[in-house]
Amino acid sequence: MADLILTPNIASGDDFYEELISAHDGLSKEDSDAYNARLLLILANHIGDREALSAAIKAAKRQS
């Protein structure tokens, strides 16, 4: 299993969070969900490591 970084690791994390939330301004729930799905797929493609992606899916499931 890939070692994931699950502790805060984003420079200016609060700014990133604000940008992410702002991207949803004015979107319906359906459009917001579609936006999240597109963003997830873009980031997954950027990561490209299938083992890391599988580990992230499992980690997210445990976090819920």
Q: What is the pLDDT of residue 63?
A: 75
What percent of the chain shows pLDDT beyond 90?
A: 91
Separation CA 50–CA 35 (nearest Å): 22
Domain map of the chain by residue range? Answer: 1-6+28-64
Res. 1: pLDDT tops 70: no
pTM of the model: 0.85
- Given phi > 0 = left and psi -120 to 50 = alpha, else beta, which region is 41? alpha
Separation CA 36–CA 39 (nearest Å): 5
Tokens read off for 4? 């994931």
pLDDT digits (tens, 9 = 90+) for 17-42: 999 999 999 999 999 999 999 999 99
